[in-house]
Amino acid sequence: MIEDTRRNIMRQVPARRKYTLLAGTLEILGQKLLLLAEILGRTALLVRSTFFWFLKSSLEVRQSFIQCLKIGVQSLPVTAMTSFFTGMVLALQSGMTSRDLFNEPIYVGTVVAFSMVKELGPVLTAIVVAGRAGAAIAAEIGTMRVTEQIDALNTLGTNPIRYLVIPRYIGCFFMLPLLTVFSNFSGVLGGFVVSVVRLNIPSTVYWDDIFTFMENEQFFHGFLKSFVFALTIATVSCYKGLNTRGGAEGVGRSTTSAVVVSMVSILILDYFLTAILVAFGIS
Amino acid sequence: MIEIQDLHKSFNSHAVLKGIDIVVKDGETLSIIGGSGCGKSTFIKCIIRLHQPDRGRIVVDGQDISEVRDEFELAKVRRKFGYLFQESALFDSLSVAENVAFGLKYLTDIPLNRHRRIATEKLALVGLKGVEDLRPSELSGGMKKRVALARAIAAEPEYILYDEPTTGLDPIMSEIINELILDLKKKIGVTGIVVTHDMKSAFRISDRIAMLHEGKFLEVDTPAGIKTTKNPYVRQFVEGLSQGPIQMKLRELD
């Protein structure tokens, strides 16, 4: 459909018109804006019908479990490892910096735990899941689209929103926050290992640095963000999958763009979400 | 009975169907022939409402389905149809038996514990045994087509739409599929609409053949009538001649 819009727009442009630089630039800008508006509109429609079918039809329990397994359980090792090493490097960097400044590493636990719980836990987990599960969602639904399996779903009395999209939303929505919690723990643990083994900080000091300063709000700050990231990944990946055109090449294009768009959206959204949460006093 | 009146469908100002009128009687097999890209698949996709027609009426058993918008209502309409996809379109993530029984869950009230038995029965009907637990990727092209056919007939539809059932199959497998289509008609009495450009198959299985050209039916007749037609367009297609009134585009930009 987007390709068609692009073609229609191109068709309306007379072949040999003389452009001024300004008119040409404006025209290109206009085309891009039109396409963007169409994509946003279609995404909104997808979200709307997902919500509609979620309320109106019975849940595909088995499919939802399968997606929870694929998105959640199978992403656990890689997210845990990523955040473990992130915790380690945070401890090393902050320990070394504070040692240079104050002759001893201080507040390492605080730096590691706050960074992990508020930012790196949710964002890194979302990025890893976007790369792993988001790509899989776009590729699977995209392949189903180009091989007429989506049409087959319709002829067999169900529809892709009900059978494919909702279970993936559920998988992302429930699993990403859980993975974030695991990732927070794993990061703090990574920091702990480096603090104790490399920086020779007594373990009680490390934990004290965390628990003296950390409150529930800090945890919820990151935890709440992960729900929004989950919806972003599900929406972008399902949208890209369902709008795949053009065989194997199209599936490749959808997959790449699902991952890129998810990751960039997560990083951009992160700033605005943080600003909103701070405004509401959840920081 | 399916009555189609003045059916129009276009994609982005490119008109594909330009006013189709036809009546498909109960129990008959109608073949739609025509060149690649002439809108044959679009036509049957409109009937099962995978495409929304722009204009015209599609009356199935007295109900005009062209304007049905509600998804639940559409599911009721689709219950009457089985659809055999050109590339089979089996679900890769499910086993053969789960594929065949897929529609039973949504289209019928048959309890879950009977689904597997029905799948086995339908597979036997298309001549397959012991493949229930295989994955579609483990099947050959002909077997996939047969599984897809078993899936299309699982919920016992009144009408089956076949999208190029013999394309891409060897002559022997094509003949097996032809026999299956004839068999289904005889055993279950289904009404069939077959989209094909395999003339041998069309002559073998059809009660009537309709030639689609430039968005309209040029001629609708019995196989015998089509064989002896005077219409130069139909003659050229049936005999497979490169020279004639139908000028195939050599390049897409022509």
Query: Does residue A252 lie in a domain region?
Result: yes
* Average pLDDT of the residues of chain A: 92
Tell whether B11 is within 8 A of chain A (Cβ).
yes
Contact criterion met (CB < 8 Å) for B79 and A154: no
pLDDT at residue A220 above 50?
yes
Total domains present in chain A:
2
DSSP labels for B202-233?
Answer: HHHH-SEEEEEETTEEEEEE-HHHHHT---HH
If asked whether residues A28 and A168 sit together in one domain, one would say no
Single out the residue of A178, A191, A197, A161 nearest to residue A47, CA to CA: A161
Alpha helices in A159-246 (DSSP H): 160, 166-197, 203-213, 216-242
If asked whether residues A31 and A67 sit together in one domain, one would say no
Q: Which residues of chain B have pLDDT under 50?
A: 253-254
If asked whether residues A137 and A226 sit together in one domain, one would say yes
If asked whether residues A119 and A251 sit together in one domain, one would say yes
Contact criterion met (CB < 8 Å) for B85 and A156: no
| Helices then strands, each counted (H, E), chain A | 13, 0
Single out the residue of B195, B140, B188, B123 nearest to residue B165, CA to CA: B195
If asked whether residues A107 and A215 sit together in one domain, one would say yes
Q: Are B197 and B164 in contact (CB under 8 A)?
A: yes
Query: Does residue A227 lie in a domain region?
Result: yes
Q: What is the pLDDT of residue B254?
A: 42
Q: Is B83 helix (H, G, I), strand (E, B) or coil?
A: strand
Buried-state track B244-254, b at ≥16 Cβ within 10 A, e below 16: eebeeeeeeee
Query: Does residue A196 lie in a domain region?
Result: yes
Which H, E and C letters describe B119-177, residue by residue?
HHHHHHHCCCCCCCCCCHHHCCHHHHHHHHHHHHHCCCCCEEEEECCCCCCCHHHHHHH
If asked whether residues A206 and A269 sit together in one domain, one would say yes
Query: Does residue A13 lie in a domain region?
Result: no
Q: Are B48 and B55 in contact (CB under 8 A)?
A: no
Contact criterion met (CB < 8 Å) for A151 and B11: no
Contact criterion met (CB < 8 Å) for A4 and B11: yes
If asked whether residues A28 and A138 sit together in one domain, one would say no
Q: Are B135 and B163 in contact (CB under 8 A)?
A: no
CA distance B148 to B145: 5
Single out the residue of A243, A43, A212, A57 nearest to residue A138, CA to CA: A243
Contact criterion met (CB < 8 Å) for A151 and B103: no
Structure tokens at B88: 């089979």
Q: Is B97 helix (H, G, I), strand (E, B) or coil?
A: helix
If asked whether residues A126 and A234 sit together in one domain, one would say yes
ipTM of the complex: 0.89
Structure tokens at A134: 């988001």
CA distance A277 to A281: 6
Domain span including residue A34 = 1-7+19-56
Q: What is the pLDDT of residue A11?
A: 58
Residue B45: closest CA among chain A residues belongs to which residue?
A: A151
Q: Are A176 and A230 in contact (CB under 8 A)?
A: yes
CA distance B24 to B178: 19
> What is chain A's length?
283
If asked whether residues A82 and A191 sit together in one domain, one would say yes
If asked whether residues A106 and A48 sit together in one domain, one would say no
Q: What is the pLDDT of residue B73?
A: 85
If asked whether residues A47 and A65 sit together in one domain, one would say no
* CA-based nearest distance B107→chain A, Å: 5
Query: Does residue A258 lie in a domain region?
Result: yes
Single out the residue of A69, A188, A181 nearest to residue A125, CA to CA: A181
pLDDT tens by residue, A12-39 = 555 555 668 888 899 999 999 999 999 9
Contacts of B29 (CB under 8 A, 6+ apart): B181, B185, B191, B192, B193, B194, B205, B206, B207, B208
pLDDT band of A195, cuts 50, 70, 90: very high
User: Quick one: DSSP state of residue A162?
Assistant: I
Query: Does residue A12 lie in a domain region?
Result: no
Q: Tell me the residues of chain B between 141 and 200 that have a Cβ less than 8 Å away from chain A.
A: 151, 155
The percent of residues in chain B predicted with pLDDT above 90, rounded, is 61
By the 10 Å C-beta count (0-12 exposed, 13-18 middle, 19+ buried), A15 is classed as exposed
Q: What is the pLDDT of residue A6?
A: 59
Contact criterion met (CB < 8 Å) for B50 and A154: yes
pTM: 0.87
Structure tokens at A257: 């763009």
pLDDT band of A139, cuts 50, 70, 90: very high
pLDDT at residue A132 above 80?
yes
Calculate mean pLDDT across residues A189-216.
94
Query: Does residue A14 lie in a domain region?
Result: no
Q: Are B194 and B162 in contact (CB under 8 A)?
A: yes
Calculate mean pLDDT across residues A185-208.
95
Residue B77: closest CA among chain A residues belongs to which residue?
A: A157
The percent of residues in chain A predicted with pLDDT above 90, rounded, is 85
Instruction: Provide the edge-to-edge strand list for the sheet that holds B208-213.
Output: B81-84, B159-163, B191-195, B29-33, B208-213, B216-221
pLDDT tens by residue, A90-102 = 999 999 999 999 9
Which H, E and C letters describe A97-132, residue by residue?
HHHHHHCCCCCHHHHHHHHHHHHHHHHHHHHHHHHH
Angle (deg, nearest 10), helices A216-242 and A247-279: 150
CA distance B110 to B197: 37
If asked whether residues A40 and A138 sit together in one domain, one would say no
Residue B89: closest CA among chain A residues belongs to which residue?
A: A149
Contacts of B6 (CB under 8 A, 6+ apart): B19, B20, B21, B55, B56, B57
Q: What is the pLDDT of residue A236?
A: 97
Chain A positions touching B92 (Cβ under 8 A) are 143-144, 149
